[in-house]
Structure 1
Amino acid sequence: MGAWDDLDDRLRPAVEAHTREFERVRPALDRVTSAMRESIAAIFDGTDLSPLFVTARTKTVESFRDKASRTLPSSEPGALPTLVFPDPMRNLIDLVGVRIITTLPHEVDLAANMLKRQRREFDCRGDREKDIGSIESGTYGYSSRHLIMRTIHSDVVRAFQQVVDPETKAAGSYLFEVQVRTVLAHAWSEIEHDLRFKASNPKAWSPYFDRQFTATAAMLETVESTFAELHERYETITGFWDEDGEGSAPLTPNRIRHIWQTLLPHVDRKSGDDWAWAAELLAAHGLRTTLDLVPLLQAGAITSVRKALDHRYSPGPDRLLDDMLLWHYGHPHIELTAEPESAESTPRRDSLQRRHRQMEIYRQQHP
């Protein structure tokens, strides 16, 4: 059941006339749609942002008729309702719609900002975040960035405007809608739209559907947040290997902690972790920058060290770093960081030598 089915009979002739006119000019509007899709897609050529896909559609005749049939109730009993869009060919700005589908949430803002910077072919006349379940209301729903774009001196728009009215001077200016959303939000909204808004029999609707849509929207938000966090971590880690950027940052105690917690968040971090001692151990080997440290903290080597030493208790990062340096440097690590052999008491040297023997035995057994 749509707005057309409930439309007052007295308003039907006007809506039917607008619909016939839209059906007449729609082939020319289709050419506008295709041109807008190509122009929008071309914006991302040669940039760091590559949307998954850019699609476009011209509103169907049925959808046009239904939207043109929307009314506002009259304030006077028995009076004729008022059409929300009395001149739908002019009032509706979503007759042409373009969709940009991205992978991650931050790319939605990047894409929207790139569109808004275009000044030659388009200018932006509106920008809003459409979230059916808004954050402010504490509910869930799909989130989508909606931009209203206006063409500037477009030849294909001029051709369409000549079809609409050959007597009017065509300016080549036309409003259309661009939606930008993530692929997960897109999938959710498409399924929800088909099941909720296109249900042929409203009597078959159940509150269970609303509850489950809310639940899946909440899961969607969690999944997108996880993907966003993974992307940020990936960007941070790759930066550690940039010798001209983050890789050159000095290994202060706080920096070592940041690197460790980024690369190895699964390793227990105990309250007594001594990051200053970790910095001293690294400095003893001349390791003073981020790029000096990250090659040591590779998962395969850490797994080997764990197996070689068969720790009774999971070591904290500072102790595990000590083991990693011993694994990598062997006897030089002992000589650089332990007590002198002539010292009265040599507990650290004894411990390092014992661990080193275990490592050597493991290496012989697992060449």
Structure 2
Amino acid sequence: MGAWDDLDERLRPGVEAHVREFERVRPALDRVTAAMRDSIAGIFEGTDLNPLFVTARTKTIDSFRDKASRTLPSPEEGAPPLLVFPDPMRNLTDLVGVRIITTLPHEVDLAANLLKRQRQEFDCRGDREKDIGSIESGTYGYSSRHLIMRTIHHDVVRAFQQAVDPETRAAGSYLFEVQIRTVLAHAWSEIEHDIRFKASNPKAWSPYFDRQFTGTAAMLETVESAFAELHERYETVTGFWDEDGEGSAPLTPNRIRDVWQTLLPHVDRKSDDNWGWAAELLAAHGLRTTLELVSLLQADTITTVRRALDHRYSPGPDRLLDDMLLWHYGERHIELTAEPKDAESTSRRDSLQRRHRQMEVYRAQHPDT
């Protein structure tokens, strides 16, 4: 049951007149919709942001009729209700709607900011976060950024305005809506809309459906957060390999700790933040930049070293870094970092030599490593 079905009979003739007018000019409005889609999609060309897709739609006649039929109670007793949109062709800002679907949550803000900077073509007249279920209320639901954009001196809009009223002085300014959301939020909202709002029999609705939608919305938020964290880690790791940027950063103890915890968070059981020992080990081999450290800590090599030494216990950062340097530099690592051969105690030298022999045996058995 929609607003049209419940509309007061006294208001129906006026709404029907608006619907007929909308139906008459809708072909011209379709051309506005296509032009807005192309303009919005073109904004992202040549930028670092590539939405998954940009689509657009003109409001359907049935949807227009239903929205034009929305009412508020009249303040005068016995009077007919008041239409929320008494002139829907001018009051409604979503007759033309453009939808931008991004991959990650942070891209929603990037897309919105990019659109709002197109001041030669558009003027942003509204910007809000439409969240069905809000953080403040402790509930869940899909989040969508909604912008109300106004065209500036657009020729296709002028043609539409003249179709509406040939006598008007068409300015080429027109309000339309842009929705921006992630692909996961988009999928959730589409499914919810089909089930919750398009149910053929509202009496068949069960409160358990609401519970399930709330549960899936919570999972959606968790998954989006995980993807956002993955993206952030990827961007950080990629930066480590930039020899002209982050890769050139010197290996201070704190820098080594940060790189290690980014690349190998599962191998970090140190009880303190003193990574000076690591800086000394690396400096012994002239390794002084971030790029040199990440080149050393390759995952496949770490796996090979673990197999070669058949660690009885999972090594911590200090032991694993020592083993990686020993794998790469062999006897040189022993001579640079162990006690002199004639020292009273040579426990480190003995340990390194034992591990080096294990590595050589493994290499002989696995010549491709």
TM-score normalised by the chain length of structure 2: 0.98
Partner of 1:180: 180
Answering whether residue 173 of structure 2 is matched by residue 212 of structure 1, we say no
Partner of 2:35: 35
Root-mean-square deviation (Å): 1.0
Deviation digits for residues 162-208 of structure 1 (CA, Å, limit 9, x no counterpart): 11011111111100000111111111111111111111211011111
Fraction of identical pairs, as percent:
88
Residues 63 and 77 (structure 1), Cα distance of their counterparts in 2 relative to 1, 3 Å cut: same
2:78 and 2:225 mapped to 1: Cα distance? 51
| Mapping of residues 247-266 of structure 1, within 5 Å | 247-266=247-266
Partner of 1:278: 278
The answer on whether the counterparts of 2:261 and 2:268 sit within 8 Å (CA) in structure 1 is no
Partner of 1:159: 159
Answering whether residue 229 of structure 2 is matched by residue 229 of structure 1, we say yes
How many residues are treated as equivalent by the alignment?
367
1:269 and 1:109 mapped to 2: Cα distance? 37
Cα deviation for residue 64 of structure 1 reads: 0.1
Cα deviation for residue 334 of structure 1 reads: 0.3
Deviation digits for residues 23-49 of structure 1 (CA, Å, limit 9, x no counterpart): 000000000000000011010111111
Answering whether residue 314 of structure 2 is matched by residue 331 of structure 1, we say no
2:228 and 2:200 mapped to 1: Cα distance? 37
The answer on whether the counterparts of 1:129 and 1:145 sit within 8 Å (CA) in structure 2 is yes
2:53 and 2:308 mapped to 1: Cα distance? 49
Cα deviation for residue 281 of structure 1 reads: 0.3
Q: Which amino acid aligns with 2:187?
A: A
1:259 and 1:165 mapped to 2: Cα distance? 65
1:76 and 1:176 mapped to 2: Cα distance? 34
| Mapping of residues 332-351 of structure 1, within 5 Å | 332-351=332-351
2:50 and 2:169 mapped to 1: Cα distance? 38
2:81 and 2:44 mapped to 1: Cα distance? 45
Deviation digits for residues 129-178 of structure 1 (CA, Å, limit 9, x no counterpart): 11111111111111111000000011111110111011111111100000
Partner of 1:317: 317
1:273 and 1:287 mapped to 2: Cα distance? 20
1:107 and 1:272 mapped to 2: Cα distance? 37
Unaligned runs of 5+ in 2: none
1:143 and 1:333 mapped to 2: Cα distance? 55
| Mapping of residues 8-19 of structure 1, within 5 Å | 8-19=8-19
2:349 and 2:275 mapped to 1: Cα distance? 20
Give the secondary structure class of the aligned counterpart of 1:123.
Answer: strand
Partner of 2:292: 292
Q: Which amino acid aligns with 1:182?
A: T
Q: Which amino acid aligns with 1:356?
A: H
The answer on whether the counterparts of 1:268 and 1:314 sit within 8 Å (CA) in structure 2 is no
The answer on whether the counterparts of 1:274 and 1:318 sit within 8 Å (CA) in structure 2 is no
Q: Which amino acid aligns with 2:237?
A: I
2:123 and 2:2 mapped to 1: Cα distance? 34
1:262 and 1:354 mapped to 2: Cα distance? 31
* Larger deviation, residues 74-83 vs 12-21: 74-83
1:287 and 1:131 mapped to 2: Cα distance? 50
Deviation digits for residues 95-147 of structure 1 (CA, Å, limit 9, x no counterpart): 00000111111111111011000011111111111111111111111111100
Q: Which amino acid aligns with 2:57?
A: R
1:172 and 1:56 mapped to 2: Cα distance? 19
2:77 and 2:200 mapped to 1: Cα distance? 31
Partner of 1:62: 62
Partner of 1:303: 303
Residues 323 and 142 (structure 1), Cα distance of their counterparts in 2 relative to 1, 3 Å cut: same
1:360 and 1:318 mapped to 2: Cα distance? 21
2:15 and 2:201 mapped to 1: Cα distance? 24
The answer on whether the counterparts of 1:273 and 1:318 sit within 8 Å (CA) in structure 2 is no
Deviation digits for residues 11-69 of structure 1 (CA, Å, limit 9, x no counterpart): 11111110011000000000000000001101011111111110000000000000000
Cα deviation for residue 75 of structure 1 reads: 3.4
Give the secondary structure class of the aligned counterpart of 1:10.
Answer: coil
Cα deviation for residue 76 of structure 1 reads: 4.2
1:144 and 1:326 mapped to 2: Cα distance? 53
1:165 and 1:198 mapped to 2: Cα distance? 35
Give the secondary structure class of the aligned counterpart of 2:54.
Answer: strand
Residues 274 and 329 (structure 1), Cα distance of their counterparts in 2 relative to 1, 3 Å cut: farther
| Mapping of residues 59-208 of structure 1, within 5 Å | 59-208=59-208
